[in-house]
Chains A and B, each alone.
Chain A
């Protein structure tokens, strides 16, 4: 009855920014990113990629409330990079990683094509 419209899960409303950044007042080189209309799919991925960065001291994400479709990523770096740079390079690396997955999958499909005589037909 009070559940929000399912469309709200992925459509960013007008006037609201996709990403908002708040530097942390108490800790140096730290800040929180509030990302609208994203969930664990990208949250866990970005958090894991941030951990792989040498310059990141703290990285974590949470979804404050399951009915409010936004995600908060908190990042603290060691000063050699700013949190914004860290998240930026994490996302770019992820994009490249996934691009590589796509290429290799395509190659495998072609091998299946050439070798076995094509992809199997749909059963129906």
Chain B
């Protein structure tokens, strides 16, 4: 067939180009697409006033008229997809995902933010509050602040507690806060600041079971051997003056970010597209020297004087200069040479955990949740026989 013959030659050339491109797009079709369309398909072109080709063109029939079959193929996905963990320090993880569409990346991000459970303070029983931080129902600033304190405990050890359920050792954690500010004989104040480290875990349960109707059948020591404490010791909850005191009991339950942001396990998680700086044509001589001076590191100068040329350096390392490059690409003098682009299916994902989950566990959990969602809908679909219409 005429079309496949034509495909053979550009494919060989394209394969070469792909190998040389390095950070290029990973979803490749037998690239019989002309260069301009390939650019529109795989790159977002960043201009100074607007970005071009921002939609992801992944419909199967997209390039049908050109003879390219763009339908989903599991084998090709497996080949093109890759994950690379770039940085993992403490509670921050940064990794790169190549070969997925933005819908998948976005869904994973949404699940991590709003559908991954944690434990957070939900009910606060106030015995005594003579501080200036209000605690009445309509302006429960103190309770609100307590709810937002992240707790270092694995939520998977606990069960969800519905409104009608009684609090028990399976679904509730009890913390106690009792601080009184006094003036010491030498004039200094003791306990004038209430920190999160003053929240003490009560593994035996509530100390006022009659008021809170919370009765534990057994101690939680066995369930949580490491103990329960806030992730950070130094979160300031309230300030006191001599004579003021706060005494309260907090009951924590399991929830998801969807219900209230205090249950979100991530400080935040986000992704961005991989940037790419393209040289539309090679600048020579003085323009090359000027560009290399404006974007040191990002553009590396070689040669000098009349023979000066530039090459694009490591884009990830010189991240901060990219916006400057975008601005320069809008200027008349440099517009023919520079173009900032983003690769549409290459994501730089960053996960910053709030402390209850490790970042890699978060991602793994998000993937599990996504699979179970697909399964749930599939199960619902079973009600309809496939052949019928």
Task: Tell me the nearest residue of chain B to A82, going by C-beta.
Answer: B389
A window 20-77: CB within 8 A of B: 21, 23, 29, 33, 35, 38, 40-42, 44-49, 51-54, 56
Task: Tell me the nearest residue of chain B to A33, going by C-beta.
Answer: B381
* A108 in contact with B85 (CB, 8 Å): yes
Kindly state whether residue A13 has any CB partner on chain B within 8 Å.
no
Residues in A with CB closer than 8 Å to B61 are 54
B window 271-325: CB within 8 A of A: none
- Min CB distance A13 to B, Å, is 13
Q: Report B347-372 CB contacts with A as 1/0, cut-off 8 Å.
A: 00000000100101001100110110
* A122 in contact with B371 (CB, 8 Å): no
Residues in A with CB closer than 8 Å to B100 are 97, 101
- Of A44, A52, A91, A95, chain B has the most CB atoms within 10 Å of the CB of A52
Kindly state whether residue B65 has any CB partner on chain A within 8 Å.
no
Residues in B with CB closer than 8 Å to A106 are 364
Taking A44-B106, A124-B355 as contacts, is the C-beta distance between A6 and B77 under 8 angstroms? no
Could you tell me the distance between the alpha carbons of A47 and B111 in the complex, rounded to whole angstroms?
A: 17
Q: Report A94-113 CB contacts with B as 1/0, cut-off 8 Å.
A: 11111111101110110110
Secondary structure class of chain A's binding surface, majority of residues: helix
* B104 in contact with A97 (CB, 8 Å): yes
Partner of B110, one of A33, A40, A124: A40
Residues in A with CB closer than 8 Å to B81 are 100-101, 104
Could you tell me the distance between the alpha carbons of A122 and B88 in the complex, rounded to whole angstroms?
A: 11
User: Number of residue pairs across A and B with beta carbons under 8 Å?
Assistant: 159
* B373 in contact with A6 (CB, 8 Å): no
Residues in B with CB closer than 8 Å to A51 are 58-60
Taking A54-B60, A92-B378 as contacts, is the C-beta distance between A38 and B258 under 8 angstroms? no
A-B contact pairs, 23 of them (CB 8 A): A7-B163, A19-B380, A33-B381, A42-B377, A44-B107, A49-B103, A52-B58, A53-B71, A54-B71, A82-B389, A88-B386, A97-B74, A99-B371, A100-B78, A105-B360, A106-B364, A108-B95, A119-B360, A120-B89, A122-B90, A123-B90, A123-B91, A124-B232
Binding site for B on A (CB under 8 A): 6-7, 9-10, 17-19, 21, 23, 29, 33, 35, 38, 40-42, 44-49, 51-54, 56, 82, 84-85, 87-88, 91-102, 104-106, 108-109, 111-112, 119-124
Binding site for A on B (CB under 8 A): 56, 58-61, 69-72, 74, 77-78, 81-85, 88-91, 95, 97, 100-101, 103-104, 106-107, 110-111, 115, 152, 162-163, 231-232, 256, 258-260, 355, 358, 360, 363-364, 367-368, 370-371, 373-381, 383-384, 386-389
Q: 5 tightest A-B contacts by CB?
A: A19-B380, A18-B380, A52-B72, A123-B90, A48-B103
